[in-house]
Amino acid sequence: MSMRVFNGLLVGVLVATALALLPTSAAQAQVCQHRTGVSHGGGIFPNTFTEDSVCGNQTGAPVHATPDSSSPQVGVMDTAQSWFLCWTRGQQHGGGNNVWYYTQGDRVVSNPERHGYGFVPALYLNTSLDPDDARLAQCPSLPADRSTAYMVYDRVTGTSVRSEEHKRFRSASLVKLLIALDYLETLGPGTAVPTADAQLLQSMLRSSKDNAASALWERGGWETIVSRMVTKIGLTDTAPPADRGMWGYTEISAADVVKIYRYILERADPSFRNLIMGHLRQATRCADDGWDQYFGIPRAVSAPWAVKQGWSAFDEDPRCPVAAGTRSPSARTASVDLASPAMHTSGTLCANDRKIMVVLTLNPLGTTWADAASRITTQAGTLYAAAPC
C-alpha cells in the first residue's frame, strides 16, 4: 500500500514498510494475508481495528462512503495491494455478489473529514470467494442515518424544552465559543485585547473563520482550552478531541452548549459577555468558507437573535459569493459520529437574550446542504412557535 493522504500530508511510511516484507509475486498477490496485532483507527467507526488482511486489488478502485456505488466516492486505491479491515453487504455489483470491503483510500477525493475511509466492492479485490478469502470480521453497524438533539432554555422562568440533550455530537464550529471565552478569561478583565487578536475574535465569531480559530487554539494550549472550560463552567458532556490539532471534533451536547451561553450571559465578566455576544449579534450570512450560515435560528426566528452556527462534512460548492477559506481538520474520538454531515444552530433569542436555543443534527451521508438547512430550520421554527417571545 502506498503512503496514505491524511489532512493533505502523506503518511503511512510504517504501513508501506510492513507491506514491503510481504510476498510480492503475482501469484502470491492473489491471496489475502491476514494479520493480527496491528492497529488501525476506525475511520467512520468508533473502534480500533487490531486485525486486517492485505489483499491484491485493482489500481484505481473507487472507495465509496457507503456500500453503494451511488454514494459519494471519498477515495481511490492507487496501489495494487492494500489492507482491508472488515466486510459488509451492500449493493449488488459486477463481481457477482454484494460484498464490500472497508479500507482507507490511498488518495482522498472528497469529504476530507473521512480521510479516505470507505467501502470498495469485492469486484476490485483479487479474491475468488467473498468474504471467505479475506478472513475478516463483518463490519460494525454504520452510524445512524440522522439524529437530532435540542434544548431551549428560558432564563426568566428557568424552564426548558429538551430532547436527547445529553447526546454527544462533534462540535464543528460551536467550539469557537469556548476558544473565545478561554482567550478572554486568560487575558483577564480590564486588559485591552490587542488589535490583531480582536480581529481574530471578530472573524471567528461573526464569520466562523477557521484559520482564526486555529491560531487561538494553538496559542491557548490546544486541547487544554476545552479542559479548562469544562472545569470552569461545569460541563458534563464535553471532552477534547482525541487529536489535539483537531478542534472541530470536540465533543459537545445541547445541554452543555446551553451552559456555555448561560456562563457567558450570567457569570462571565461583563466586558467578555459584551464582546462575544456583540459579535454573535452581527453574524454574517456568508461564512468565511463560503457557506450560507443563515439556517436554523436566523432563518426561523424573528429578531433579535445572536447565533453561532456549526457544520461539517458537506461536499458541495459554497452557496455564498465569497472566497473559500480553510475548513477545520478533524480526527476520531471514541463516542461521536464523525462521518455523517453535521449541522448545528445555537444562540439566544428574544429581548435581553431571554431564551437560549441549541439544535444539533446529523444527516445521512450524501445529504445536501439545502436539505440539511431546511431540516434544522424547520426544527428551530417548530420550537420557536411552541414558545415564542
Q: Give CA–CA dist 250/275, Å, rounded.
A: 23
Task: Write the CA distances from 199 to 203, 245, 275, integer angstroms.
Answer: 6, 22, 12
Domains by residue range for the chain, with CATH: 4-134 (no CATH), 147-386 (3.40.710.10)
Going by C-alpha positions, the residue among 141, 138, 136, 140 that lies closest to residue 36 is 136
pLDDT at 70: 76
pLDDT at 243: 83
Is there a cis peptide before residue 341, judged by omega within 30 degrees of 0? no
pLDDT at 3: 30
* Farthest-apart Cα atoms in the chain, separation: 74
Amino acid identity for residue 185 in this structure = E
Going by C-alpha positions, the residue among 34, 30, 28, 93 that lies closest to residue 58 is 30
pLDDT at 113: 60
SS3 track for the chain = CCCEEECCEEECHHHHHHHHCCCCCCCHHHCCEEEEEEEECCCCCCCCEEEEEEEEECCCEEEECCCCCCCCEEEEECCCEEEECEEEECCCCCCCCCEEEEEECCEECCCHHHCCEEEEEHHHECCCCCCHHHCCCECCCCCCCCEEEEEEEECCCCCEEEECCCCCEECHHHHHHHHHHHHHHHHCCCCCCCHHHHHHHHHHHHCCCHHHHHHHHHHCCCCHHHHHHHHHHCCCCCECCCCCCCHHHCEECHHHHHHHHHHHHHCCCHHHHHHHHHHHHCCCCECCCCCECCCCHHHHCCCCEEEEEEEECCCCCCCCCCCCCCCCCCCCCCCCCCCCCEEEEEEEECHHHCEEEEEEEECCCCCCHHHHHHHHHHHHHHHHHHCCC
C-alpha cell at 156: 426568566
pLDDT at 316: 74
pLDDT at 21: 41
Phi, psi of 55 (to 5 degrees): -130, 155
pLDDT at 71: 75
Strands 4-6 and 305-312: unpaired
Q: How many CB atoms lie within 10 A of CB 298?
A: 20
Q: What is the dihedral of CA 215, 107, 171, 363, to 10 degrees?
A: 150
> In which residue are the cell numbers 431540516 written?
375
Q: Give CA–CA dist 12/383, Å, rounded.
A: 47
- Tens place of pLDDT per residue across the chain (389 aa): 333 333 333 333 333 434 444 433 333 345 799 999 999 987 777 678 999 999 999 999 999 988 988 777 889 999 999 999 999 999 999 989 999 999 999 999 876 667 889 999 999 999 999 999 999 999 987 665 578 999 999 999 999 999 999 999 999 999 999 999 999 999 999 999 999 999 999 999 999 999 999 999 999 999 999 999 999 999 999 999 988 888 998 999 999 999 999 999 999 999 999 999 999 999 999 999 899 999 999 999 999 999 999 999 887 777 786 433 333 333 334 468 877 889 999 999 999 999 999 999 999 877 889 989 999 999 999 999 988 99
pLDDT at 281: 98
Strands 147-154 and 160-163: antiparallel
Is there a contact between 101 and 43 (Cβ–Cβ < 8 Å)?
Answer: no
